[in-house]
């Protein structure tokens, strides 16, 4: 069982997404637990301010250290040791390999930033795995946290029901994992003049497998030739 502790100023936003599809199924199966914590609850004063102006001037507000430290110190002892993830555009880039690493953890604590980001002492205060979901700046860490949760829980044993479907996906393991996935078709056989390739209707498993591999190779060459370079690098 994997336990997530997500520290955020918008727990309702995070919970709304966790109530659907695979993240919900994973929770129902007992493969994962989500614990959401609002670090504003740990802020002092009538206004419970979590942010303040930056020393040295400049635009935007910075997350204060006190409520974040307090909330983390409150949450950490609630279960065993946690892998600590700080969501930041300055972190290492998230990808399927990182999702695989995270899926092996028993517990992950994630801190979602807002505003201009964190007071540097928050970064210095804990042994963070700093993770970015890509080279763009979002308004907060909630969507990155949900991206990581979604990609990770679908790798937990039994969550997809059919283990094969995770292995066949793009970015999985082995040669297949270096290739983008082949095209999928379902009924009807013909839609607005576009037909399902005959080989897929043939029931010939060998031919179907060959066609899928060819298509996956072609897609990867056309769209992401860099993935094939990685393959040669590994040889």
Ligand X SMILES: C[S@@+](CC[C@H](N)C(=O)[O-])C[C@H]1O[C@@H](n2cnc3c(N)ncnc32)[C@H](O)[C@@H]1O
The contact set with ligand X (CB under 6 A) reads 87-90, 112-114, 116-118, 132-134, 136-141, 144
Residue 223 token pair: 């769209």
Q: Which residue is nearest to ligand X (CB)?
A: 113
Q: Which is nearer to ligand X, 71 or 220 (CB)?
A: 71
Helix 225-234 crosses helix 205-223 at what angle (to 10 degrees)?
A: 100
Q: How far is the CB of 198 from ligand X (least distance, A)?
A: 44
- What is the spatial distance between Cα 30 and Cα 7, in angstroms, rounded to a whole number? 21
Question: What are the distances in angstroms from CA 47 to CA 91, 117, 191?
Answer: 31, 20, 58
Q: Are the beta carbons of 33 and 4 closer than 8 angstroms? A: yes
Q: How far is the CB of 132 from ligand X (least distance, A)?
A: 4
Q: Which is nearer to ligand X, 38 or 132 (CB)?
A: 132
Residue 131 token pair: 């993770």
Q: How far is the CB of 155 from ligand X (least distance, A)?
A: 20
Q: Which is nearer to ligand X, 125 or 140 (CB)?
A: 140
Q: How far is the CB of 122 from ligand X (least distance, A)?
A: 10
Is residue 182 classed as helix, strand or coil in its secondary structure? coil
Q: Which is nearer to ligand X, 87 or 216 (CB)?
A: 87
Q: How far is the CB of 110 from ligand X (least distance, A)?
A: 9
**Which one-letter DSSP state was computed for residue 118?**
B
Q: Which is nearer to ligand X, 140 or 177 (CB)?
A: 140
- 124 alpha carbon, distance to own chain's centre: 24
Q: Are the beta carbons of 92 and 68 closer than 8 angstroms? A: no
């Amino acid at each position: 069982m994997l336990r997530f502790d997500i520290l955020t100023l918008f727990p309702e936003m995070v919970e709304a997404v966790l109530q659907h599809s695979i993240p919900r199924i994973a929770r129902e199966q007992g493969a994962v637990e989500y614990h959401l914590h609002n670090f504003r609850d740990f802020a002092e004063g009538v206004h419970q301010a979590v942010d303040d102006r930056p020393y040295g001037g400049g635009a935007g507000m910075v997350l204060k250290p006190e409520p974040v430290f307090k909330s983390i110190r409150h949450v950490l002892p609630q279960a065993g040791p946690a892998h600590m993830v700080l969501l930041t555009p300055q972190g290492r880039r998230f990808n399927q390999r990182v999702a695989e690493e995270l899926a092996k953890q028993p517990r992950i604590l994630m801190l979602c930033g807002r505003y201009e980001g964190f007071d540097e002492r928050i970064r210095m205060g804990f042994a963070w795995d700093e993770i970015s979901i890509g080279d763009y700046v979002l308004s907060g860490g909630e969507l990155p946290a949900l991206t990581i949760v979604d990609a990770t829980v679908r790798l937990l044993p039994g969550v997809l029901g059919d283990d094969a479907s995770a292995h066949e996906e793009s970015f999985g393991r082995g040669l297949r994992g270096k290739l983008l996935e082949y095209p999928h078709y379902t009924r009807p056989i013909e839609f607005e003049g576009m037909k399902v390739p005959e080989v897929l209707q043939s029931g010939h498993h060998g031919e179907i497998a060959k066609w899928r591999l060819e298509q996956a190779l072609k897609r990867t060459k056309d769209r992401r030739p860099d993935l094939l370079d990685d393959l040669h690098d590994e040889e």
